[in-house]
């Protein structure tokens, strides 16, 4: 018995890194998997069928069931094509993992419009397009299903040199919260992962130059499996973070704050004077 027996899962950007580990684990747990990957470089340049095909072949060779798809998540036609691959091969879909991503780092003052647009398009727009396409299908099937998005510490806390990526990943957080609220009545849970792992996206970061090889995609995949399986129950709108063997959650908190006299507006000087009390958690 696998946790995903009878389920059909779409995993975007599953031709390498974290998505590949998720696809292999989902298939081992009995899911029939659509391995999507556009097969480009880390910065999104180019495309090829090899990456998705290799992972689908790996799953099949291990006795699992998978089909490859090469569409880009960043266009409506691509999202529709990914869903169509699932429906043509398996007749339904149950789980979507929005994992595809690219990196085009530059500091804010050096960032140009194309670096901004391309990163927002793959991460944020791609998550929207694939979620909308799959959610409509889940509802047409009678409701129920699981969406797992991929955010980042960069989006949750900020990171030097990643204004485009952080904005996209913070957008995925807001999108996850809202989609969770809107899709709850259809019994569709929407949660997000915030992974840290050594992949081609991160291998040149200083932390991975100094022996953090133990932070692997295989540490991340079980968290995606949890959020994509019925073990997740009705938990929705959460951000589950995984860094190697550390598992934690990101939460946005509202401080209790401070009231002035009933109805009275704060002056700027009063905000300065009471800053600590206003912002204390
Ligand atoms: P990766 O570069 O190995 O995987 C991303 C995959 O997405 C690649 O195989 C790429 O070809 C594919 N892809 C890119 N654009 C696509 C498109 N338009 N359509 C379909 N596929 C596309 O990197 P990694 O690390 O496995 O990243 C997976 C996800 O995890 C990304 O969303 C990334 O932002 C996120 N993440 C990773 C962290 C890490 O420490 N590795 C940290 C925080 C978030």
Per-residue pLDDT of the chain (281 residues; tens, 9 = 90+): 899 999 999 999 999 999 999 999 999 999 999 999 999 999 999 999 999 999 999 999 999 999 999 999 999 999 999 999 999 999 999 999 999 999 999 999 999 999 999 999 999 999 999 999 999 999 999 999 999 999 999 999 999 999 999 999 999 999 999 999 999 999 999 999 999 999 999 988 877 877 677 899 999 999 999 999 999 999 999 999 999 999 999 999 999 999 998 889 999 999 999 999 999 99
Q: What is the pTM of this model?
A: 0.97
Under 8 Å CB-to-CB from 260, ≥6 apart: which residues? 266, 270
Residue 2 lies in a domain: no
Q: What is the CATH number of the domain that holds 73?
A: 3.40.50.720
Q: Are residues 278 and 238 in the same domain?
A: no
Residue among 17, 54, 66 nearest 219 (CA): 17
Q: Are residues 146 and 213 in the same domain?
A: yes
3-state secondary structure of 73: coil
Angle at 90 between CA 220 and CA 189, to 5 degrees: 45
* Under 8 Å between Cβ of 145 and 234: no
Considering 26, 70, 128, 165, which one is annotated as catalytic? Answer: 165
CA distance 25 to 97: 13
Q: Are residues 147 and 261 in the same domain?
A: no
Q: Are residues 206 and 240 in the same domain?
A: yes
Pocket test for ligand 1, best of 42, 100, 119, 157 (most atoms within 8 A of CB): 100
CA distance 49 to 26: 21
Ligand 1 atom closest to residue 74's alpha carbon, by position in its atom list: 18
Cβ of 196 closer than 6 Å to ligand 1, yes or no, is yes
Clarify whether 165 is annotated catalytic: yes
Q: How many domains does the chain have?
A: 2
Which pLDDT does position 24 carry in this prediction? Answer: 98
Residue 86 lies in a domain: yes
Instruction: For residue 254, report the distance from its CA to the centre of ligand 1, in Å.
Output: 31
Q: Are residues 266 and 197 in the same domain?
A: no
Pairing state of beta strands 32-36 and 8-11?
A: parallel
Pairing state of beta strands 246-250 and 239-243?
A: antiparallel
Q: Are residues 90 and 35 in the same domain?
A: yes
Q: Is 268 exposed, middle or buried (0-12, 13-18, 19+ CB in 10 A)?
A: exposed
Strand residue runs (E) in the chain: 8-11, 32-36, 65-69, 95-97, 145-150, 188-196, 239-243, 246-250
Tokens of 230: 């019925």
Instruction: For residue 201, report the distance from its CA to the centre of ligand 1, in Å.
Output: 7
Q: Are residues 144 and 215 in the same domain?
A: yes
Domain that holds residue 136: 8-250
Q: Are residues 64 and 202 in the same domain?
A: yes
């Amino acid at each position: 018995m696998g946790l995903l027996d009878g389920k059909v899962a779409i995993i975007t950007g599953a031709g390498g890194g974290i998505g590949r580990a998720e696809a292999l684990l989902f298939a081992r747990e009995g899911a029939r998997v659509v391995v999507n990957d556009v097969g480009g470089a880390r910065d999104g340049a180019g495309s090829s069928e090899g990456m998705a095909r290799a992972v689908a072949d790996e799953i099949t060779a291990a006795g699992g069931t998978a089909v490859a798809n090469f569409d880009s998540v960043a266009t409506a036609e691509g999202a529709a094509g990914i869903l169509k691959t699932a429906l043509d091969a398996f007749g339904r879909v149950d789980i979507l993992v929005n994992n595809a991503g690219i990196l085009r780092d530059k500091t804010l003052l050096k960032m140009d419009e194309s670096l901004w647009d391309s990163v927002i398009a793959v991460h944020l727009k791609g998550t929207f397009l694939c979620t909308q396409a799959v959610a409509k299908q889940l509802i047409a099937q009678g409701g129920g299903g699981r969406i797992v998005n991929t955010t980042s510490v960069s989006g949750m806390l900020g990171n030097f040199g990643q204004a485009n990526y952080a904005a996209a990943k913070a957008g995925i957080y807001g999108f996850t919260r809202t989609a969770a609220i809107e899709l709850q009545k259809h019994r569709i849970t929407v949660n997000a992962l915030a992974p840290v792992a050594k992949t081609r996206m991160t291998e040149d970061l200083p932390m991975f130059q100094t022996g953090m090889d133990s932070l692997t995609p295989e540490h991340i995949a079980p968290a995606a499996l949890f959020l994509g399986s019925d073990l997740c129950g009705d938990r929705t709108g959460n951000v589950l973070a995984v860094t190697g063997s550390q598992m934690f959650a990101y939460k946005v908190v509202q401080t209790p704050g401070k009231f002035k006299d009933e109805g009275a507006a704060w002056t700027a000087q009063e905000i300065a004077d009471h800053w600590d009390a206003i912002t204390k958690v």
